[in-house]
Amino acid sequence: MPDHGPSKFKGADPNDRDTPSPSSTVMSWIDQEEERLKEAAEKYPPDPFAMSAYSRFLKNKRGDLERAKMWHDLAHATVTSRLSPNVTDMIRYHSK
């Protein structure tokens, strides 16, 4: 008896499929989720929660630390700008 599988699987082309591969389905979902989060983060007026969610998505799912930090900083700046001027000045003073 031969060591290999049944002959009907010999020479099967993995690219000759009717259904998408699981990895392409996952990537499609990730792309759709990124687009949804990005649209929410870019809406006006700015929503710091949406910006922060997009930042976490970029960091955890895409591994894009540079863009994730940019969106995190933008969310932080949005919250800071909504605070009273005295609190904003105090934050600036302590960050020096």
pLDDT (tens digit per residue) in 77-93: 998 888 766 666 666 66
Burial of 3-16, coded b for 16+ CB within 10 Å and e otherwise, reads eeeeeeeeeeeeee
| pLDDT of amino acid 24 | 80
User: What are the sequence ranges of the domains in the chain?
Assistant: 43-96
Mind spelling out the 3-state secondary structure of 22-90? HHHHHHHHHHHHHHHHHHHHHCCCCCHHHHHHHHHHHHHHHCCHHHHHHHHHHHHHHHHHHCCHHHHHH
Q: Work out the widest C-alpha separation in the chain, in whole angstroms.
A: 83
State pLDDT tens for residues 56-75: 999 999 999 999 999 999 99
Give, to the nearest 10 degrees, the angle between helix 65-82 and helix 85-94: 140
Note the pTM of the prediction, 2 decimals: 0.63
